[in-house]
Homo-oligomer: A and B are copies of this chain.
Amino acid sequence: MKLWLTGIAAFLSLQLSAQNLNLDNTLAYQLTESLTVEVGQRLAGSEADARAVAWAEKKFKQLGYDKVWVEPFTMQYWQRGQASLTVSAPFHQNLVVTALGGSVGTPFDGISAQVVQFDSLEQLKTATSAQVKDKIVFINKSMGKDKLGTFYGSVVGARAQGAVEAAKLGAKAIIIRSVGTSINRFAHTGIMRYSDDVARIPAAAISVPDAIQLDKMLRLQPELSLQLQMQNKLPGEVISHNVIAEITGSKRPDEIVLISAHLDSWDEGTGALDDGAGVGIVMATGALLKQQAQPERTVRVVLFGNEEGGLVGARAYAAKHADNLKQHVFASESDFGAGRIWRLDTGFGNNSLPFGSALQKKLAHLGIALGDNTASGGPDVSVLKAQGVPVASLQQDGTDYFDYHHTPNDTMDKIEPAAMQQNLEAWLITTTAIANSQLDLRK
C-alpha cells in the first residue's frame, strides 16, 4: 500500500501561500473553491485523495475546530486508463466514452464485436443468449429531469448491473448511454458491480449525443461493429481515510450531532458539485456555529472517504463506531450539488415530528418547505439510519445536478455563490437547533 508521501509533503508546503479563510456567510463557497483549486479531483485511494485528506485536516484546524482526526480504512483501488470506442465500417467514427468505475479493461488490442441495442436493463434481462452472445451490448435509456433527481433510480441500474446481466448472456462488453440529463458531449462515469459467479466484462458509458448518434447509425446499418479499448487498472488494496472534526458540546458532549459530506470524487471533473459543495457546506457550518457559541451537544463533522466506490468510508465508520452509534442523536449529509435547499425531510421518531415542524418554520424565510418523514439523510448517512440514527435531508434543487454529475464538467464554475450561502444558512440553523435541543429524535 502506498502512502503518497511525496505529493502530500509538496502539498502541505503550499499552505503557506494559500488564501486565508474569512469566517462569514461565504465560507462554504471559499472552502469548496479551495478544495477544487488546490486539490482538484480526488479519486478514492489515489495520491490526490491523500492530498484531500491532508487538506481537510489542515482546514479543520485553521477553522478552529476543537478536535480533528482521521480514521483509516482499507479499500480496493481502481484506476481509469485511456478509453476509446470506434464505430467500424462504413462509418469510421470515434464516440466519446468513459470507463465505468470498477470496470476491468479490455485486452490491449481491444474488443471488436457487433453491437446489439436495448432500450433498458429490463429489456436486456428478457433477451436470449442467441441475441447477445459474443456481442457488445448497448443500453440506450434516456433520463428525465426534476428537482429531486427521481429519474436517476430508474436509469442507474443499467450502469450498476448491466455488466452482470450482459455477461450472463455471453456478451463481450457493455456500453450504456450516460446516466445524465445533459446533451453536452460528456460521458458519465460511476460505480458498477460484478458478481462472483459471472464473467467480468468491460463496462463503459458513452455521452448522450453519442448514444443518439449510435442509435441513428444502427437504424441505417443494423449489423454494425464497435471496437472498445480500455486500460483500467485494479492495483489492489490501499488505505484511505474518513476525516473527522468536532466542536465539543458544552452541556452534553457525549451526544453527537453528525453532519457530513464525502471527500472523495470521481477523477474526470474536480468534484465541485459532487461533493466539494457538501464538504464546503458542512465544514463551514461547524466553524460558524462555534463562532456563534459553543453548542450544548457535540457537533461532529465527518468527511467520508470513498463514497463513490459504494459507501466504503461510511461502512467503516459505522463498524468502528458500532458501540456508540446510540450516542449519535442525529445525522445528515450534504451530497446533491450546490442548488438551493427547498424542502426539509426528516427521519425522526413520531414524537419528534413537532420539532421538525418548528425547525421548518425557522427555515421558511429561505424558501424551505416541510416535506415528509422518509428522509434517507444522504447516501453515506443512510448506513447510520439503517442502525437507527435519526436523520434529516435538506433537499437541494437538483434539476441540473445530473447535467454535470460524474463528468469532466463537474467544476467550480458551475456553482452559484448565493446558493451556497443559502445552503450554509439552512445547515447552520438546522444544526444549531438540534445541537442545542434536549429532544431524543429517536422517539
Cβ B90 vs Cβ A14 within 8 A? yes
Given A91-B40, A220-B37, the answer on whether A413 and B209 have CB atoms closer than 8 Å is: yes
Given A183-B413, A409-B184, A411-B185, the answer on whether A220 and B93 have CB atoms closer than 8 Å is: no
Residue of B nearest to A210 (CB): B411
Return A303 CB to nearest CB of chain B, in Å. Answer: 20
Most buried by B among A51, A212, A220: A220
Most buried by B among A39, A47, A93, A412: A93
- In Å, the complex CA distance between A19 and B220 comes to 7
- In Å, the complex CA distance between A90 and B221 comes to 50
Cβ A92 vs Cβ B51 within 8 A? yes
Return A272 CB to nearest CB of chain B, in Å. Answer: 9
Number of copies: 2
Name the one of B38, B413, B414 contacting A91, with C-beta atoms under 8 angstroms.
B38
Cβ A221 vs Cβ B412 within 8 A? no
Cβ B41 vs Cβ A89 within 8 A? no
Cβ A10 vs Cβ B90 within 8 A? yes
Name the one of B11, B89, B212, B409 contacting A412, with C-beta atoms under 8 angstroms.
B212
Residues of A with Cβ closer than 8 Å to B? 7, 10-11, 13-14, 17-19, 33, 36-41, 47-48, 51, 89-93, 96, 183-186, 208-209, 212-213, 216-217, 220-221, 269-270, 408-409, 411-414
Return A110 CB to nearest CB of chain B, in Å. Answer: 16
- In Å, the complex CA distance between A411 and B96 comes to 12
Could you give 13 example pairs across A and B, Cβ below 8 Å? A7-B92, A14-B220, A17-B221, A18-B220, A19-B220, A37-B213, A38-B220, A40-B93, A41-B93, A47-B92, A183-B414, A184-B184, A208-B413
Residues of B within 8 A of A221 (CB): 14, 17
Residue of B nearest to A88 (CB): B10
Residues of B within 8 A of A184 (CB): 184, 186, 409
Return A236 CB to nearest CB of chain B, in Å. Answer: 22
Given A14-B221, A220-B38, the answer on whether A213 and B412 have CB atoms closer than 8 Å is: yes
Residues of B within 8 A of A92 (CB): 7, 10-11, 40, 47-48, 51
Most buried by B among A19, A33, A41, A213: A213
Residues of B within 8 A of A13 (CB): 90
- In Å, the complex CA distance between A284 and B33 comes to 50
Residue of B nearest to A208 (CB): B413
Cβ B185 vs Cβ A409 within 8 A? yes
- In Å, the complex CA distance between A378 and B20 comes to 52
Cβ A216 vs Cβ B33 within 8 A? yes
Return A221 CB to nearest CB of chain B, in Å. Answer: 6
